[in-house]
Amino acid sequence: MTTPLIIDTDPGVDDAFALALAVASPEVELIGVTTVFGNVSLEDTTRNALRLLALLGREDVPVGVGASRPLIHPHPHLSSAHGSDGLSGFAHTLPEATRGPDLRDAVTLMRELLEQADRPVTIVPIGPLTNIALLLAAHPYLKPKIGRLVVMGGGVNGGNVTATAEFNLWSDPEAARRVLVEEDVPTTLVTMDLTRRCAVSAEWLQALAGKSEVNATLVGLTPDYLATYRRFLGWDGMAMHDAVAVAEAVRPGILRATGFPVDVDCSYGPNRGALLVDQRLEVSNPKTLDIALDTDLDGLRQFILDRL
């Protein structure tokens, strides 16, 4: 039986691959996509989501528009690793969407999809956690309908947007804290420590592009992102952060997770948005969050390549 899946996203180059992986995976049924500000503005992430679903032949999937800013503190705009339009300046190479977003906003769409679902729904948030925090705050009675959240975010050993904070958590720390620390929905956190180790090479991308026109178009969205990661990684490749989270949603257990007590720094100091992971052996806090820390790296890359 397939698992119903909702992806909450801010496309984003790696978000694009994540959506493609979900669409290509028979274990899950993509029942909704919701958009959030993040890599670029909400207007741009929504346009990108609509066009990506057109490319993937899934314009039947409703797209609910979500938050344009964080819950509490306005979001300073930073230049993005994903280029001016979120897709390395190549959003215009995607087919134009033949429909607009759903009339329901992101939270309303998620509420209705959860209400209608006849089995637990997996939600994969791969952007700032604003929409998910609002959903859980507004409709707590729906929590039992959520089988699992598989969240891409946080760094155990440092960040990518500041020394200690990863982009998705830093973009809305209060929302992240609500979802990851205060709520009690089963959650797996896929941090950048692991997603960076799963980075794919330029050769991997070439092999993918050779498989189909759709894949070639996806790979055509990568130049700016690749350029950034070439600097970060020191080799010619890029991190598939969000696709790694979708892989775990598609094939539960493909990532190996360990439970740790966590917190999210919501101060206005230099650690704002940092994930705090208590790795002490003797801890009295019984509440832990499953953090995906390891996988068969080559197997994971091959899994994504085979699926796409």
Sites of contact with ligand BDR (CB under 6 A): 12, 14-15, 39, 81, 126-127, 152, 160, 166-168, 192, 241-242
Structure tokens at 225: 């992102």
By the 8 A CB rule, do 68 and 34 touch?
no
Structure tokens at 15: 């978000």
CA distance 179 to 5: 18
Cβ closest to ligand BDR, residue 109 vs residue 239? 239
By the 8 A CB rule, do 230 and 236 touch?
yes
- Minimum CB–partner distance for residue 238 and ligand BDR (Å): 11
- Minimum CB–partner distance for residue 118 and ligand BDR (Å): 30
Per-residue HEC secondary structure of 73-90 comes to: CCCCCCCCCCCCCCCCCC
241 catalytically annotated: yes
Which does residue 167 bind out of ligand BDR, Ca ion, none, counting CB within 5 to 8 angstroms by kind?
ligand BDR
Q: What is the DSSP string of 140-189?
A: GGGGGGEEEEEEE---TT--SSSSSB-HHHHH-HHHHHIIIII--S-EEE
Q: Choosing from 73, 75, 77, 241, which is the catalytic residue?
A: 241
- Residue of this chain nearest to Ca ion (CB atom): 12
| Amino acid present at 223 | P
Cβ closest to ligand BDR, residue 87 vs residue 135? 87
- Minimum CB–partner distance for residue 232 and Ca ion (Å): 16
Structure tokens at 219: 């790979």
Cβ closest to ligand BDR, residue 126 vs residue 142? 126
Cβ closest to ligand BDR, residue 30 vs residue 124? 124
Structure tokens at 191: 């941090």
Q: What is the DSSP string of 183-232?
A: --S-EEEE-HHHHHHT-EEHHHHHHHHTT-HHHHHHHTT-HHHHHHHHHH
Which does residue 273 bind out of ligand BDR, Ca ion, none, counting CB within 5 to 8 angstroms by kind?
none
Q: What is the dihedral of CA 190, 196, 202, 205, to 10 degrees?
A: 0
CA distance 176 to 123: 15
Structure tokens at 20: 């493609």
Sites of contact with Ca ion (CB under 5 A): 10, 12, 15, 126-127, 242
Which does residue 109 bind out of ligand BDR, Ca ion, none, counting CB within 5 to 8 angstroms by kind?
none
Cβ closest to Ca ion, residue 18 vs residue 121? 18
Which does residue 150 bind out of ligand BDR, Ca ion, none, counting CB within 5 to 8 angstroms by kind?
none
Cβ closest to Ca ion, residue 142 vs residue 198? 198
- Minimum CB–partner distance for residue 153 and Ca ion (Å): 9
From the list 72, 75, 67, the residue with the least C-alpha distance to 110 is: 67
- Minimum CB–partner distance for residue 227 and ligand BDR (Å): 14
Which does residue 265 bind out of ligand BDR, Ca ion, none, counting CB within 5 to 8 angstroms by kind?
none
- Cis before residue 12, ω within 30 degrees of 0? yes
- Minimum CB–partner distance for residue 261 and ligand BDR (Å): 22
**Continuous H helices in 24-143:** 42-55, 106-116, 130-138
- Residue of this chain nearest to ligand BDR (CB atom): 167
Which does residue 192 bind out of ligand BDR, Ca ion, none, counting CB within 5 to 8 angstroms by kind?
ligand BDR
Catalytic residues: 241
